């Protein structure tokens, strides 16, 4: 079984880091992984997208993925181009502060998380992407929250490793929020 996750946002929101963290945590759990990112030539503010394919066995998807099962959206700008790829039975995890309205996607569960607010409550206003990743993990079981937390130190660059605990707290807060909302396990990734 394969699961394709598209992530979209703007440069500076941590989309590439969140994608890498998901990919590394899935490898830690023994899954096959393919990841690729697309971003504009700007450091901050340009479009930033990443696709992660996770599988139980050899990945057979081509480098350009025609469909996706889940979307993590930190900004609405990238959603229109994903509309034709999103498949029924999947999930959209979106930051309610930056994606206030869900697209009209048939059969896709919408999980609108106040990621910016939850991260700010933890004193980590830049941790919204990690909160959203925690929600995605808890809602789908793509990877465990524990694997994400354990993988942080290997994914963060050396100059950012002092933020491991803060990022872990954001991931855990997202997972807790999903549980509080009754979304935990709502769209199981693996049968």
Give the largest CA-CA distance in the chain. Answer: 43
Contact 49, 6 (CB under 8 A): yes
Give per-residue pLDDT as tens, 19-52.
999 999 999 999 999 999 887 665 666 788 999 9
d(CA 189, CA 177): 19
- Rg for the chain, CA atoms, rounded: 15
Query: E strand or H helix at 10, and its extent?
Result: strand 2-10
Instruction: List, for residues 77-93, the tens digit of each pLDDT value.
Output: 999 999 999 999 999 99
Give the mean model confidence (pLDDT) for residues 98-120: 97
Give pLDDT tens digits for 51-61: 999 999 998 76
Domains of the chain (ranges, CATH numbers): 2-180 (3.40.920.10)
* Per-residue confidence (pLDDT) for residue 25, from 0 to 100: 98
Torsion of CA 5, 67, 190, 116, to 10 degrees: 30
């Amino acid at each position: 079984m394969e699961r394709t996750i598209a992530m979209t946002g703007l440069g500076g929101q941590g989309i590439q880091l969140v994608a890498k963290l998901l990919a590394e945590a899935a490898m830690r759990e023994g899954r096959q992984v393919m990841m690729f990112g697309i971003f504009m030539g700007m450091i901050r503010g340009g479009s930033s997208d990443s696709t992660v394919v996770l599988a139980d066995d050899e990945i057979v998807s081509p480098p350009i993925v025609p469909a996706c099962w889940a979307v993590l959206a930190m900004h609405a700008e990238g959603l229109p181009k994903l509309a034709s790829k999103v498949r029924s039975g999947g999930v959209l995890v979106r930051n309610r502060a930056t994606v206030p309205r869900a697209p009209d996607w048939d059969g896709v569960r919408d999980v609108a998380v106040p990621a910016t607010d939850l991260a700010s409550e933890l004193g980590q206003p830049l941790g919204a992407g990690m909160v959203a990743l925690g929600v995605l993990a808890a809602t789908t079981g793509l990877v465990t929250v524990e694997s994400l937390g354990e993988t942080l130190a290997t994914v963060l660059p050396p100059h950012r490793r002092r933020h491991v605990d803060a990022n872990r707290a954001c991931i855990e807060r997202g997972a807790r929020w999903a549980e509080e909302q009754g979304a935990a396990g709502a769209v199981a990734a693996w049968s």
